[in-house]
A and B are shown apart, each in its own frame.
Chain A
Amino acid sequence: MLPEEHIPKFHHWLFSFLCKDELYNELAGDLEETFAENYQFLGPDQARSIYKKEVLKMLRPSVIRKFKVLPKFTPLDMFKNYFKISIRSLWRDKEHSLVSIFGLAAGVVASVLIFQYTNFENSYDSFHDESTGEIYRIGRITSDIATGDIISHNVANFHAFHPAVVEDVPEVGFSTHLLPANGVFTYQDVGHNIPDGSFTTGSFFDVFSFELLQGNAEDLNQPGTVFLSKTMANRIFGQNDPMGELIRYNDNFSNVVIELQVKGIFEDTPDNSHLKTNALMPMPNLISFADNGWFGSLRISDVTWRWIGFHTYIRVLPETDRPLLEEKLTEFTRKYRAPYDASQGRQQIAVVHNLSEIHFAQGFNAQLEPSADPRTVNMFTYIGILIVLIAWINFINLASARAVKRAKEVGIRKALGAFKKQLIQQFLLETFLVNFLALLLASGMILLIIPSFEEFVGAPVFEYFWDFSPFWTTYLLVFGVGALLSGLYPALALTRFQPIKVLRGNFSHSTQGVWLRKSLVFLQFGIVLIMLTGILGIRSQIRFMMNHDIGMNIDQTLIINAPPPFLRDSTYTSKLDTYRDDLLQIPAISGSTISSTVPGVRNDFGQTIFRTDRPSNESIFLYRSNIDPHFLSFFDLELIAGRAFSESLKGDRNVIYINEQALQELGFSSPEDAIGKRLTYPAGPHPQIVGVVKNFHQMGMNYAVDPLAMELDTAALGTYINIRMQTQNIPETLKTLEERYNSFFPGAPFDTFFLDQTFNDLYESDKKFNSVLEFFAIVAIFISSLGIFGLSSFLINSKLKEVSIRKVLGAGIREILKVLTKEYVLLVSLATLVSIPVAYLLIKQWLDNFLVSVTINPLIYVIPVFGLVLILCITIGGKTWKAVRVNPSRTLKAE
C-alpha cells in the first residue's frame, strides 16, 4: 500500500477545507512529504499521529481562509450599526445614561430582594410530595353550644385522633401526630440541647415526604428508639456511626427520662418547613410516663379524648372533597367528645389546613412555628411591584424626553429609506442594552447585599438561589417585560416623527406624550407620598405600643441572671434570699424580687390542667411561673381578689395566684368565685387559688395575655433577680452588686440586663417591618428623584427660550419661577389629593392587626407632602435657578 493512502483522511480533508488556496500547494505538499518520509522511517502509526498534530498546529489565523458565510449586506450589519450608535448615544449623554441605568438597577435590586423574600415565604412546605394525596393538619374550633361564641382556635388536637381517624374516616389514607419536646440528649456524659424534638409515630414518614436516610420507619413505633436528623447526629456522634448507639433523653418540662437507641437518620427539615425537628422519639415512651401519674389517678384511656396538644396530620386519598372531609372529621370528633362537650356546653368543629396554608394560618394558637402574616407578605409583593413600576416609569419618561434629541437621526434614517420596523428595532435594542447594563449592575449589588439581607429578614431566603425557579422566573420577567415595555413607548414615539419637519429645522418640541408623561410623574409622586405616610403611621404605632401601659411597672429595673443550676446546692434557696435582703442595704436600690420569669422573656413553661372541682371539664393550657412574696408589689401588679402573698406562705406549693385570663378560661364566674378553689396539675400538687391578679402584658402589646399561674415555689425559683435601682451612678451600683454577688456565689458569672431594653426588643418585628419599608421607600424615592432630575433638566432646557423672551418683555423672577414650576405644583397637589385616602385606608387596615392601636395624628398625612416638596426643591432647584438667571441674549442668539 502506498503511503499516501494511509494519510489520516479527516485531517487531510480538514486542512484542504480550511487552508487558504494560495498556501495550499506549499503547505499541504510539505506536510505530505514529511508524512511520506516519516512513514518510511517511523512506521505508519507514528507518521499518522505526527501528521495529525502537524495539521492541528498548522491551523492558525494566517493559514485559515476567510469564509464568506454571509452575504455582503445583511440585517446583522444593520444591527452592528444600531449597536454602535446606541453605545455612542449612551456615551454622549453620560448624565442621562447613568440616571437611567442607576434607576433601573436600583429598581431591580429592590424588587429582586422583595420577591425573593415573598417567594421564600410562599414556598413554605411546598417540598412535600402531595401527588398521592394531599396532606392536612387537623385543627379544631371550640365554641359555646348555647351562644355560638368561639372560645378557641387550636391547631393541636386530642390524643385519640391518631390512629382512630384512619379507621373511622374512609378518606384518610395515613395519619400521624406529634408532641413537641424540649430537652437534653446525653451521650457519653456530654449533653446536647434538643430544642426541637418531637414525640411521634412511625407513620410520620407515611404522611410527610421528609427523607429517611437510614433505618426503618416502623421502628419509631417501638419504645426506646430515636431517629435523629443528619445535623443532630453529626453534632452528637461526629464522624462515628450513630446507628445502634444509646443516648439518654431528659425532658426539660416534665419527669420524662428515657434511654433511647438510635435507629434512624433523616434528612434535616428545610428552613421553609413549618415543622422543624431534629429528633423523633416514639410516642409509646411518652404515653407510659403520662399513664403513670400525669393525670392523677386517671389513666390514658380516660383522658384520651381530653388530652390536647397533639399536632395531628393526615394524608388523604386522592380526590378527596375538602368540605366533606371537614364535615366527617367534625362528626368523628363529636361522636367521641359528646359526653365531655355536653357537660361543658361546648362543641367542636374540625378545620383542616392544607400544608400550603399552614404557614399563613392566622389566629390559631400553639402553632409549631409562628405563622407569617399573609397581609405583610402581600404588602411586600405590592411594594416590590410598585418599585419596579417606578423604575420603569422613570425609564420611559427619560427615554421619551430624550427622544427629541434623536429626532434628527430618525429623520435622516427615514429619509434614507429606513422602515418603521427597523427604527423600532433600533430603539428596542438600545433599551435592551440599557436594561442589560442595569441588570449587570443590579446582580453585582444583589450579591453584595445578600448576606446582610438574609440576616435582616432572619431567613436564608437566598439559600435556594440557583435551583429556585421562582427566583429566575421573577428575575427574567422583570428584565424581559421591563425592557420591552419601557422600550416600546419611546421607540414608537420616536418613529412617529415626520422627517420633513425634523430636517427642515423648525422641529418644535413634541407635545406628543405630554399627557402620559405627566400621569406617570403623578403616579410616582403618589407612590412616594403613600410610602412616606405609611412609614409615619407605622412609627407612631410602634411608639404607641412602647409607651402603652402594660399593667406592670418595669422602670429602672435591672435583672441579674441567677447562678446556673449546676452551681446550686441545698443551701441555694436560702442564700438567694439572704442575697436579696442584703441588696436592700445598698442605698441606690429601692426594691428587689426573685422570679422564674421576667417581662419580655417568653414563658414557655406550662401544663395542661383541670379544675379539681370539675374533672370532667376540658383541660386548659396554663402557663406557670414562680415568684417570691415581693413580686406583686415590686411590679405594681393589681390584685383584684384574694390576699397578698405573705412570708409565711413561702415555699408552700399549695397556693397560687392566677391572672384574669386564667380565671376566664377556667370558667369561674367571678374573681371571688375562684378564691379557695383548687387546680389539678399533672404529676403535682393540687394548689389552691388564693388571689386573682389583673391581666398584665408580660409580652408587650403584641401578644394576647396567656392564662398564667404564679406559685410561691422557691425550690424551682431563682432564675432572675429583679432589682429596682436609681439611675444615678449606675456603674458604681453595678460594681457593688457584682462584688456582693461574687461573695455569695463564687464562680458564678455576673450576667445582667435592663428590663426596658429586653421589653423594647419585643417590638423588634414591627420595627423591622418599618425599617424594611423605610429602606424600600428610600429606594423608591431615590429612583423617583433620579427620574425627576433627569426629566426636569430636559424640560427646563426646552423652556429656556420662553423664559428668555419673558425676561426681555420684563417678567420678574416670581413670574418665571411660576412658569417653570407650575407643572410640578399641579402634579404634587393632585398626588396629595389621591394619596391621602389610599394611605388612610392602608394604615387603617394595618392597624387592625394589632390588639391595641394608636389614634393616628392627621399630621402624618401632611408631613410627607412637605417632604416631597423638599425633595423636589433639591432635585430641580439647581436647574431651575440656572434657568431663572439665564441671560436672554445668549439663548435668543442661538437660534
Chain B
Amino acid sequence: MKGTYLGEFQEIVLLSVLVLAQEAYGVQIQKEIALRSGRTISRGALHSALSRLVEKGFLDSKFGEATKVRGGKSKKYYEVTNLGKSALQEAEATRREFHKSILDLNWVKFGAA
C-alpha cells in the first residue's frame, strides 16, 4: 500500500463519494465535482484518482446494475471505507490546525495594538 497522504483532488473525490452516498458511480461523481467545485474534469482524470484511492484502501467498489443508456454495461459503485473517513478527518484536522495558528498569529499581531 502506498502512503496515506491525501492529495487535494483526491480529497474532493472522496468527499463527493461521501455526499453521493448510494449513488456514487463515475458519471455521478464527475457531475458532483463539477457542480460543487465548478471545475470540469475528464473521466480519465477521475479514473486515475479513483483507482489510486482504491489502491490506498480509502475506497471500496462493487459492480452495480447495467442500464440501457450505458449500452448494457454495468456501473461500478464506490463507497468510502473507514480508513478513508479517518484520512479525511486527519486532513481536515491538519488544515484546521494551520488555520488556527494563522488566526492566533493575526490575533497577536492585531489584537495587541
Task: Report A's interface with B, CB cutoff 8 A.
Answer: 4, 23-34, 36-37, 53-54, 57-60, 62-63
B36 → chain A closest CB, angstroms: 18
Whether A29 and B47, one on each chain, are in contact in the complex, defined by CB atoms closer than 8 angstroms, is no
Q: Which of A32, A37, A53, A63 is in CB contact (< 8 Å) with B47?
A: A63
Closest A residue, CB atoms, query B52: A62
The majority secondary structure among interface residues of chain B is: mixed
How many residues of chain B have a CB within 8 Å of chain A?
21
What residues of chain A lie closer than 8 Å to B95, measured between beta carbons? Answer: none
Complex CA–CA separation, A239 to B26 (angstroms): 66
Q: What chain A residues lie within 8 Å of B67 (beta carbons)? A: 33
Contacts of A30 in B (CB 8 A): 25-27, 30, 43, 70, 75
B74 at the interface (CB under 8 A from A): yes
State the CA gap A788–B1 with chains docked (Å). 57
Kindly list the 8 A-B residue pairs having the minimum CB-CB distance in the complex, ordered from nearest. A29-B73, A30-B26, A29-B70, A58-B44, A26-B76, A57-B42, A57-B44, A25-B73
CB-CB under 8 A from A57, the residues of chain B are 42-45
Assuming the contacts A30-B25, A30-B27, A57-B43, asked whether A62 and B51 have C-beta atoms less than 8 A apart, the reply is yes
B27 adjacent to A33 (CB under 8 Å): yes
Between A and B, 10 residue pairs with Cβ closer than 8 Å are: A24-B73, A25-B66, A29-B66, A30-B30, A30-B43, A32-B70, A33-B67, A34-B43, A37-B27, A60-B44
Task: Select which of A23, A26, A32 is within 8 A of B71 by beta carbon.
Answer: A32
B48 within 8 A of A: yes
Interchain CB contact under 8 A, A54 and B48: no
Bound-state Cα–Cα, A62 to B44, Å: 10
Of chain A, the residue at the smallest CB distance from B74 is A25
The distance in angstroms between the C-alpha atoms of A62 and B67, with both chains bound, is 26
Answer whether residue B110 sits at the interface, using C-beta atoms and an 8 A cutoff: no
Further contacts, 19 of them, CB under 8 A, given A23-B47, A26-B76, A57-B43: A28-B71, A29-B70, A30-B25, A30-B27, A30-B70, A30-B75, A32-B69, A32-B70, A33-B27, A33-B69, A33-B70, A34-B43, A37-B27, A54-B43, A57-B44, A58-B42, A58-B44, A60-B44, A62-B48
Q: Name the distance in Å between A47's Cβ and chain B's nearest Cβ.
A: 13
Partner of B48, one of A29, A36, A60: A60
Chain B positions within 8 Å of A, measured between CB atoms, are 25-27, 30, 42-45, 47-48, 51, 63, 66-67, 69-71, 73-76
User: How far, in whole Å, are A23 and B43 apart by their CA atoms in the complex?
Assistant: 13
**Which of B42, B71, B74 has the most chain A CB atoms inside 10 A of its CB?**
B71
* Cα–Cα distance between A31 and B69 once the two chains are bound (Å): 10
- Within the assembled complex, what's the spacing in Å between the Cα atoms of A28 and B69? 11
**Residues in B whose Cβ lies below 8 Å from that of A36:** 69
Check B74 against A29 for contact (C-beta < 8 Å). Answer: yes
Are B44 and A54 neighbours in the complex by a CB distance under 8 Å? Answer: yes
Which of A32, A58, A62 makes the CB contact (< 8 A) with B73? A32
- A54 contacts B47, CB within 8 Å? no
Contact partner of B43 (CB less than 8 A), chosen from A4, A24, A37, A58, is A58
Q: Which residues of the other chain, A, contact B25 by a CB distance below 8 angstroms? A: 26, 30
Bound CA span A34–B44, Å: 13
Q: Contacts of A24 on B, CB cut-off 8 Å?
A: 73
What CA separation (Å) do A28 and B71 show in the bound complex? 9
> B42 contacts which of A28, A53, A62 (Cβ < 8 Å)?
A53
Assuming A26-B26, A33-B27, A34-B30, is B42 touching A54 (CB within 8 A)?
A: yes
Pair B43/A27 contact, Cβ less than 8 Å: yes
Asked if A29 and B44 make an inter-chain contact with CB atoms under 8 angstroms apart, the answer reads no
Contacts of A54 in B (CB 8 A): 42-44
**Chain A residues positioned under 8 Å from B73 (CB to CB):** 24-26, 28-29, 32
> With A32-B70, A62-B51 in contact, is A26–B75 under 8 Å at CB?
yes
> In the assembled complex, how far is the CB of residue A850 from the closest CB belonging to chain B, in whole angstroms?
79
A residues less than 8 Å from B74 (CB atoms) = 25-26, 29
Q: Within the assembled complex, what's the spacing in Å between the Cα atoms of A646 and B63? A: 123
How far is it, in angstroms, between the C-alpha of A37 and the C-alpha of B30 when the chains are bound?
13
CB of B9, distance to nearest CB on chain A (Å): 15
Tell me, rounded to whole Å, the shortest Cβ–Cβ distance linking B55 to chain A. Answer: 10
Whole-angstrom distance from the CB of B10 to the nearest CB of chain A? Answer: 15
